[in-house]
Structure formats: C-alpha cells, structure tokens
C-alpha cells in the first residue's frame, strides 16, 4: 500500500511520523474520513471545506494548496488501484519539542491513507443495530467546538469501550446537559410522526457530511426535517432511528438501552433514505 506523506508516496512500512509530532504527543491536529465509490470521491469539496474550517479553528496552516490536496487524495486512490474505499486524510501540527507550544512546530505534516473499511458487519444494514447510551459525555462546545474534527477522540474511544462492555457496537453520547449529542463516530437521526429530527451541532454533534447529505435527501423525498433537542426518552419512543457517517453510511437502529424502537425493525422512512443515499453516492463525486 502506498501512503501519501508530505508530498511523497511511500510504502506503508516506510510511512512514519516522528515521536515528537504534536499530533501524537497532544492530539494536536485534524482529519477527514472520505469515501470513494466506483472511482468517484464522494463530496470531496465538502470534506475539504470542513478540513480548512477545522484548521482555521485550531490556528493550523495547512501546508499545501487546496488544489494540491485534491490531487493528493485522488492520486492516493490511483496509486493503490482503488475504485471503492475509504480515505483518511490527516494534518498534524508537526514536529515540535516536549512542551505544548504549537509555534515551535516548524511545519505541519499531511498524510493520506487510501484503503478499505467495513465499520459494521453487512447484516446490520438490513436487521438494524442494538445500541446503548454510555456514561462518557461528549466534550461541550464551550470546551472545544464540536465542528472541529480534531485528533482528540478520547471521549469517543471511552464511549466505544463502554458500548462494547455492554455488548453493543455503538453508543449514544449525551452532552453535559443530558441531551443526545451523537454516537462515537456517527450522527443520529430519529423519525417522529413523519418528521426527521437530529441534534444541532451546538448540542455536541459533529456537522457530518453524511448528515448534510441526509438533509438534502429528506428535501428530495419531501420529508419534513428539523434540528431538535433530543433526550433518550425521545429516542426510545421514536418511530425509527438511524445513524449516519462516512464509514457507517446509513445504518438503522432498532433497539436502544433495551427498548425496541418502533416495531423493532428498520422502518420505511429509514429504508427510503438509505435507498436514496445509496443511489446518490454512485452519481455524485469527483472522478479520481
């Protein structure tokens, strides 16, 4: 496998980052997860918009131009002979000393891994997931804007471990006020009396690119959509529930905290959204 690392393509065994990189020492960096479908990179512009916004928010200067970044992403896919896959694009603060000071890091590093991903076993896309709410909370917007897709995922990792300890593959994370924020790597939607609802970013949700795609799918399907404060109670009593993310795509949830959602099967709205999502990913995108 060839990895893009600071302007070069190197074998994965040679793709190494310094132990003094602040991405590693402090989680000081940002990333994107992007999908490739049949030779088209899905919503590359939206991912790069978010990457540049994350960089601005943490005062990080991405060391290459946007045009070069597009080329690096596409070339990473071509170098690995991929037509379908998952692209991980990371920008770290770069090599510094042992203190926090990011201004001592001379140059940010960029690396891109283009590979395959299967987040959940395929059968769950038809049968639906059973998930749980976990104790670890999402970091509040006053501490770190949830829009920043940073290398700090420790809360989410703890939540993922807690989900596994409870025998579930995914977890609902609440914010400090007890409202639903999102899952460890996915956004959450419910269907309630024909309306599609999802928490606002201010409640601790990442502004997911898939989430945004689903909002546009909802418009196309004439489904009323609203950002709404949601509690666990709202999820338990929803008609339907599903998760969205670049890795997960759209996956139904049929049980939360031991309560069946709706009739305990993926619902008709979820299935319509999923079908339209699958159609779109094949017709939109940047050719590699």
> Is residue 145 at the binding interface for ligand PMP, with CB under 6 A as the rule?
no
Largest CA distance in the chain: 57
> Is residue 246 at the binding interface for ligand PMP, with CB under 6 A as the rule?
yes
Tell me which of 25, 132, 206, 230 binds ligand PMP, using CB under 6 A.
Answer: 206
Rounded to whole angstroms, the Cα distance separating 122 from 134 reads 24
> Is residue 211 at the binding interface for ligand PMP, with CB under 6 A as the rule?
yes
Beta carbons of 244 and 278 less than 8 angstroms apart: no
Q: Which of 2, 56, 107, 149 is catalytic?
A: 149
In the Cβ-directed half-sphere of 209, how many Cα atoms lie within 13 Å?
Answer: 23
> Is residue 186 at the binding interface for ligand PMP, with CB under 6 A as the rule?
yes
Residue whose Cβ sits closest to ligand PMP: 208
> Is residue 85 at the binding interface for ligand PMP, with CB under 6 A as the rule?
no
> Is residue 252 at the binding interface for ligand PMP, with CB under 6 A as the rule?
no
Q: Is 48 helix (H, G, I), strand (E, B) or coil?
A: helix
Distances (CA, A) of 223 to 62, 72, 214, 270: 38, 37, 10, 11
Beta carbons of 180 and 203 less than 8 angstroms apart: yes
Tell me how far, at minimum, the Cβ of 126 lies from ligand PMP, in Å: 21
> Is residue 29 at the binding interface for ligand PMP, with CB under 6 A as the rule?
no
Rounded to whole angstroms, the Cα distance separating 160 from 167 reads 11
258 CB neighbour count, 10 Å cutoff: 9
Give yes or no: 207 in active site: no
Tell me how far, at minimum, the Cβ of 101 lies from ligand PMP, in Å: 27
Tell me how far, at minimum, the Cβ of 272 lies from ligand PMP, in Å: 19
> Is residue 249 at the binding interface for ligand PMP, with CB under 6 A as the rule?
no
Residue ranges in contact with ligand PMP by CB under 6 A: 33, 156, 182, 185-187, 206, 208-211, 244-247
Q: Which residues are catalytic?
A: 149
């Amino acid at each position: 496998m060839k990895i893009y690392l600071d302007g070069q393509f190197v074998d994965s065994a040679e793709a190494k980052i310094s132990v003094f990189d602040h991405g590693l020492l402090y989680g000081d960096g940002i990333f994107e997860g992007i999908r490739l479908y049949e030779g088209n990179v899905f919503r590359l512009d939206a991912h790069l918009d978010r990457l540049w916004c994350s960089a601005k928010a943490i005062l990080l200067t991405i060391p290459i131009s946007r045009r070069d970044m597009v080329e690096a992403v596409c070339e990473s896919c071509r170098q690995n002979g991929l037509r379908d896959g998952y692209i991980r694009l990371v920008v770290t603060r770069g090599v510094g000393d042992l203190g926090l000071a990011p201004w001592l890091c001379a140059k940010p590093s960029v690396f891109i891994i283009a590979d395959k991903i299967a987040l959940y076993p395929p059968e769950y896309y038809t049968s639906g997931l059973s998930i749980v709410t976990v104790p670890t909370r999402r970091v509040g917007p006053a501490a770190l804007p949830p829009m920043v897709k940073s290398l700090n995922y420790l809360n989410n990792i703890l939540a993922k471990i807690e989900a596994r300890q409870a025998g579930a593959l995914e977890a609902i994370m609440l914010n400090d006020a007890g409202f639903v924020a999102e899952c460890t790597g996915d956004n959450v939607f419910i269907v309630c009396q024909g309306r599609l609802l999802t928490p606002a970013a201010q409640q601790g949700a990442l502004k997911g690119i898939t989430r945004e795609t689903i909002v546009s799918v909802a418009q196309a399907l004439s489904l009323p959509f609203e950002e709404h404060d949601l509690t666990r109670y709202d999820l338990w009593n929803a008609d339907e529930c599903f998760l969205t993310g670049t890795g997960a795509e759209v996956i139904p949830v049929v049980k939360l905290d031991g309560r069946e959602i709706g009739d305990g099967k993926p619902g008709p709205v979820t299935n319509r959204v999923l079908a339209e999502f699958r159609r779109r990913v094949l017709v939109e995108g940047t050719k590699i």
